[in-house]
Structure 1
Amino acid sequence: MNPTLPLAAAEPRPGLRTPFTYTLFRAIWIASLVSNVGTWMQNVAGVWLVTTLTTSALLVALMQTATSLPAFLLSMPAGAVGDLIDRRRLLLFTQGFMAVVALGLGAFTLTGSIRAIDVLGFTFLLGMGAALNGPIWQTVTTELVPRPVLPFAITLNGVSNNIARAIGPALGGLIIAYYSPGWVFVLNGVSFVGTWIVVYKWRREVQNDGGPAENFSGALRAGIRYVQYSPAILAVLVRTFAFSFGASAMWALLSVVVARRLHLQSGSYAVMLSWLGAGAVTGALLIGKIGHRLNLNRRVLLGSLMFVATNLCLALVNSEYWLFPVMFLSGTAWLITMTSFSTSVQLHVPKWVQARVVSMYMLVFQAGMSLGSIVWGELADRATLPLALLIAAGWMLVSLALALPFPMHQPEGLDFSPGEPWSDRLVEEDIDPDDGPVVVMIDYEVNPADQPAFRLAAQHLTRLRLRDGALRAGVFADVSQPTRITEFFYVATWAEHERQHHRFTRDDQQVEAEVRRFHQGETPPRVTHFLAFPRTANVEVAAPPLQVAGSAQ
């Protein structure tokens, strides 16, 4: 199965249905939906099984820890691995690993030889597989559809998760009631096998940026550095944490509101979740209509305002029937907001660092949800439930101010395709990739009247140098020649400098061209490479021994 990436001429403006016209995306989306349903069934069956196997509330509570802890431990390493190893092979490994674990748990359960501690162990292993799989699975979408269709494909992935959230627990509960949790685990394992087969049939083109291979630690540092010097990505991460921290109050306390404040049964809680799921699906349909009218910043602002209202209603409204439409609108706001975050992240990074950036986004989101759940739950226990929800609403309201220092950037018009090779390499001999450090100096001739504008343009270029691998970078003026300005950047090794060449995109070249536009020389800016002691051992010269009065020579 090979997707045809060019957009069809008959559909100049993509919509929500457009991603389904690509065969491979359609196949992977269906397989993902089935797998997500199996995962939600597994969650219900696992908690129920531990509850029946032990009287310890701690062991039951540890099921959530076993599910979420691997994401904290492995998200960022998984992102680095996803950018270093062929993603198709990695997906085959993770899907196969999770299939074996789920089938093994089902076999142990059906034979009656399972213990509560065993369920925790199997759940932790499944969490490890999911943590390794998550960043890579999200970035695969960018290879299945063209860039204009990508926002709708990401939205459909969110629809898949919400449909599974609505269907999975109900199906799992039915199978547990009439058969055994073991059959739920077996079905979950089979769902992974189905996804494995679909990925196996994908004939992915090998991605090769031509640069020197990175090691794991270097790849991890490069991903962190890229986020540090990318204002668009930093803005998404800050806004994601603020939103998930406040919105977690609804997810963490909804069941408590239903049981303790409204004094309703578990059936009412299930109905609330169904309204949430229905609202999320509706949000997916609305994306196609509002996507061209509301930019990402406005979508996030509207979603945050809706969750302000949600927390207020959960704290103050006493009728479940009034809460049903509130849950519906919350589901709509949740999907639109989270889709906006995910779309912005994936459209603001080039392929070489995509999995690493997505993994950091997922880590920030999970941190906001987990920390928020702890804070709002503890506050509800120590004070009152309505007060915790009101403070959460206040947090969401105050967080709206983050739109000023951290605005969401629109991805339209960005071109992250590899730029033309730099023309600054004048080295004829091969250099050992591990040699270094390397200092690159670029001399410009700039009229004094143009230097303030040059300095501003050079600041953007300096940020790109640091983002792509430089440890230090800056611009200096020659005190003896007022028109001479030198840009420098310092890189750890020659291999890392080579990677800088391949990380430069067409958008980055526009920034470089803006800087070079101020150069007034008859020849292009002069580029010089300095290598620390090339092919010469750095040997310290031994200092002469100290002469102590009265000592022998």
Structure 2
Amino acid sequence: MSITGPLRIAVYRNLWLAVLVSNVGLWMQTVGAQWLLVAEPNASTLVSLVQTASLAPVFLLALPAGALADSLGRRRLLLAVQAGLALVAGLLTLLTALGDVHPALLLTFTFALGAGQALTLPAWQATIPDLVPRDQLVSASALGSISINAARAVGPAVAGLLIAQAGAAVVFGINALTFVLFAAVLAAWRPDRTSAPRTPEPFTSAVRAGTRYVRHSPVVRRILLRAVLFIAPGNALWALLPLVASQRLGFGSGGYGLMLTVLGAGAVAGAFLLAPIRDRISNNQMLLAAGIGYAAVLAVLGLVRVPALVMIALLPAGIAWVAVLSTINASMQLFLPGWVRARGLAIYQIVISAAQALPALAWGLLADATGLPVALTAAAALMLAGALTLRFWALIDTRTMDRAPAVFWPEPHLTLEPDPRTGPILVTVRYKVSAANAPAFVTAMDAVRRAVQRTGAYRWGLFRDGAGSGTFVEVYLVSSWEEHLRQHTGRLTGADRAAEEHARSLADGPPEVSHLFPATAAPTA
């Protein structure tokens, strides 16, 4: 399948281009902020704090942002955030032009812009499956990697030229305009209203639901594990590359910039080269090849001091990086159902950021203590070991899973109308199962348990009658009546329905379902 397939969809193409321009603006913003600090006392610390101020909001705001995106609507949140970012960037431009920006204020503005990006990313990532057919999501993920790497290559170069000619204020002003452009494209987009959430979830409940979904989803946990096993050792390249350039190859800033360009070119080329390969090999074969290739590159960086060979090695590193991240990202988007997609992707972004930020410090400390060759060789060994764990912890293929909403639980029939906030609710489901089917039934109910807990239950159990009557009772607790009704009206998927139908096929007849309310609750007639 062609990687450019999603770009034939006008809405996606327009938004992708707007995001690309915005990414370029963000890299320009980063270079401009760093340039304003290079002449300050303690410049090394201040310059590094620009990256910290940009990334820290991800840990604080990504999950709340995902909850807001799923509850309030992704387009609405994106529009509001882009408007806020344009105002912040515009104010920074004005103050810079007036000469009133000092380091603490600049870092504060950088943090505010980072917060806006932390709010933007989950909503944008969760929007993509609404714009692109399911069979083109892998291509869309690769296009996202192209956007990031192209911006990394173009943004700093353009910023450097503009700062030299006109000053940092111009760079900040262009960044502000990119937010305006993104907002304009969003405003022109008219999404299908049926895809928006019908009743917004309470914020706290929405955050809990997102974390609960990931906790009870083995598929998501496996995806996150594969991401960490690749990114944690792989980030040694990004963390130590400036030192490789200066200490091992004798490059100046121009040579380091060229190394980044080669990496970016490899990533962009890889996105195009991998498209036909994906039709011939499995995701796990792709991850294994990428892990082995990336480990080889890390070893070359640590052991080889020939600039030409190092430059050549950086090309497959870019290819491997985009191969793994696009595969993992697409697996997440394919698996997460629409009602929790932004929250699940927010947790994914938190894990990705942590897997980059924390190991980067560790690789730096190891390099200071033992030298670059030892640190990079250790990263190569860890990368290779992580790739070999695919035999035990393979990435689960999500491409053929039915993740469409499935409303198949019958509507509860009550004589009283409870307050939606009433809770907790105890649900009991009573089955009759023959002795011959009992072992298979217990095994099948494990998939039911995961579905029920992913979608709302915080306690679940399966019990059998000690009198040997063949009666099994499934019991679970949901925090409120409103939360349980959400299970009935769209949280379950086609795969959940198949799992439940399989379990019920092993029982003798349909089960008996009861809904029990707290004895102190006062439902109204």
Asked if the contact 1:38–1:168 (Cα under 8 Å) also holds between the matched residues in 2, the reply is: yes
The answer on whether the counterparts of 1:76 and 1:359 sit within 8 Å (CA) in structure 2 is yes
Query: Which residue of 157, 172, 185 maps to 2:172?
Result: 185
- Per-residue deviation, 1:206: 2.6
The equivalences for 1:129-208 within 5 A come to 129-207=116-194
Residues 1:289 and 2:276 are matched in the alignment: yes
Query: Aligned pair in 2 of structure 1 residues 398, 88: CA closer, same or farther (>3 Å)?
Result: same
Structure with higher Rg: it is: 1
Q: Secondary structure at the match of 2:193?
A: coil
Give the drift of 1:254. 0.5
Q: Deviations over 1:32-55 (max 9, x none)?
A: 111111111111111011113445
Letter of the structure 2 residue corresponding to residue 495 of structure 1: E
Report matched runs for 1:84-95 at 5 Å: 84-95=71-82
> Does the Cα contact within 8 Å between 1:54 and 1:116 map onto a contact in 2?
no
Q: Please say if residues 57 and 111 of structure 2, whose CA atoms lie closer than 8 Å, have aligned partners that are also in contact.
A: yes
Indicate the residue corresponding to 2:61 in structure 1: 74
Matched, 1:527 2:517: no
* 8 Å CA contact 2:337, 2:403 repeated in 1: yes
Once the 2 structures are TM-superposed, how far is the Cα of residue 155 of structure 1 from its aligned partner?
Answer: 1.1
1:545 equivalent in structure 2 = none
* 2:82 is the alignment partner of 1:63: no
Aligned residue for 2:496, secondary structure, equals helix
> How far is the alpha carbon of 1:235 from its aligned partner?
0.4
d(CA) in 2 for partners of 1:194, 1:211: 29
Could you list the per-position Cα deviations for residues 436-484 of structure 1 after superposition, in whole angstroms to 9, with x for gaps in the alignment? 2211111211111111111110111111111111111121111113321
Decide which of 244, 269, 278 is 2:231's aligned counterpart: 244
Q: Assess if the C-alpha contact under 8 Å between 1:244 and 1:368 holds in 2.
A: yes
Residue 401 of structure 2 aligns with which residue? 414
1:344-400 C-alpha deviation (Å, 9 max, x unpaired): 111001000000000111100100100110000011112211111111111112212
SS at match of 1:354: helix
**Cα deviation 1:257-308 (Å, max 9, x = unaligned):** 1101222222111111111111111111123201212222222222211221
2:424 pairs with 1:437: yes
1:536–1:192: structure 2 CA closer, same or farther, 3 Å change rule?
A: closer
Residue 414 of structure 1 aligns to a residue whose secondary structure is coil
- Out of 290, 297, 300, the position equivalent to 1:303 is 290
Q: Which 5+ residue runs of structure 1 have no aligned equivalent?
A: 1-13, 538-553
Residue 536 of structure 1 deviates from its aligned partner by: 4.5
- 2:83 is aligned, of 85, 92, 96, to 96
Tell me, yes or no, if the aligned pair for 2:224 and 2:351 is still in contact at 8 Å. Answer: yes
Amino acid at match of 2:352: F
C-alpha spacing 1:56/1:276, structure 2 compared with 1 (3 Å): closer
SS in 2 for 1:52: coil
Give the drift of 1:57: 3.2
Match of 2:266 in 1: 279
Residue in structure 1 matched with residue 214 of structure 2 by the alignment = 227
**1:506 matched to 2:494:** yes
| Structure 1 position 15, deviation (Å) | 2.0
Please, which of 499, 504, 514 is the counterpart of residue 516 of structure 1? Answer: 504
Residue 323 of structure 2: SS of its match in structure 1?
helix
Corresponding letter in the other structure for 2:434: N
**Structure-1 residue corresponding to 2:250:** 263
Contact 1:86 1:206 in 2 (8 A): no
Note the aligned Cα RMSD (angstroms).
1.6
Is this contact kept in 1: 2:426–2:476, CA < 8 A?
yes
Distance 1:337 1:55 in 2: 37
Aligned to 1:118: 105
Match of 1:373 among 357, 360, 383: 360
Residue 210 of structure 1 and its aligned partner are, at CA, apart by: 7.3
CA gap 1:428/1:296 in 2 versus in 1, 3 angstroms: farther
Distance in 1 of aligned mates of 2:512 and 2:333: 36
CA distance in 2, matches of 1:423, 1:401: 46
Instruction: Look up the match of 1:4.
Output: none
2:414 pairs with 1:427: yes
With 328-337 and 77-86 compared, the bigger mean Cα shift is at 77-86
Distance in structure 1 (CA, Å) of the matches to 2:511 and 2:43: 71
Report the alpha carbon displacement of residue 326 of structure 1 after superposing the two structures with TM: 0.8
Cα 1:271–1:210 change in 2 (3 A) is: closer
Percent sequence identity over aligned pairs: 38
Q: Distance in 2 between matches of 1:461 and 1:421?
A: 13
- Name the structure 2 match of 1:541: none
Q: Which residue of structure 2 lines up, in the alignment, with residue 550 of structure 1?
A: none
Task: For 1:517, give the aligned amino acid.
Answer: S
Change in Cα spacing, 1:54 to 1:196, as seen in structure 2 (3 Å) is farther
Segments of 5+ residues of structure 2 without an aligned counterpart are none
CA distance in 1, matches of 2:432, 2:222: 35
Relative to the length of structure 2, the TM-score reads 0.96
Structure 2 residue matching 1:377: 3-state secondary structure? helix
**Separation in 1 of the partners of 2:283 and 2:495?**
21
Instruction: Give the distance between the partners of 1:491 and 1:332, measured in 2 at CA.
Output: 46
Bigger drift between 378-387 and 426-435 goes to 426-435
Amino acid at match of 1:357: G
Q: Distance in 1 between matches of 2:43 and 2:244?
A: 24
Residue pair 1:239, 1:402 contacting (<8 A) in 2 also: no
* Distance in structure 2 (CA, Å) of the matches to 1:69 and 1:398: 30
Q: 2:203 aligns with which of 216, 235, 241?
A: 216
1:49 aligned residue = 36
Check the 8 A contact 2:331/2:399 in 1, yes or no: no
TM-score (norm 1): 0.91
Tell me the distance in 2 between the aligned counterparts of 1:323 and 1:447: 67
1:246, 1:392 within 8 Å by CA — same for their partners in 2? Answer: yes
Match of 1:30 among 17, 20, 35: 17
Provide closer, same or farther for how the CA distance between residues 208 and 157 of structure 1 changes in structure 2, counting only shifts above 3 A.
Answer: closer
Q: Distance in 2 between matches of 1:124 and 1:222?
A: 28
How far has the Cα of 1:410 moved from its partner? 1.3
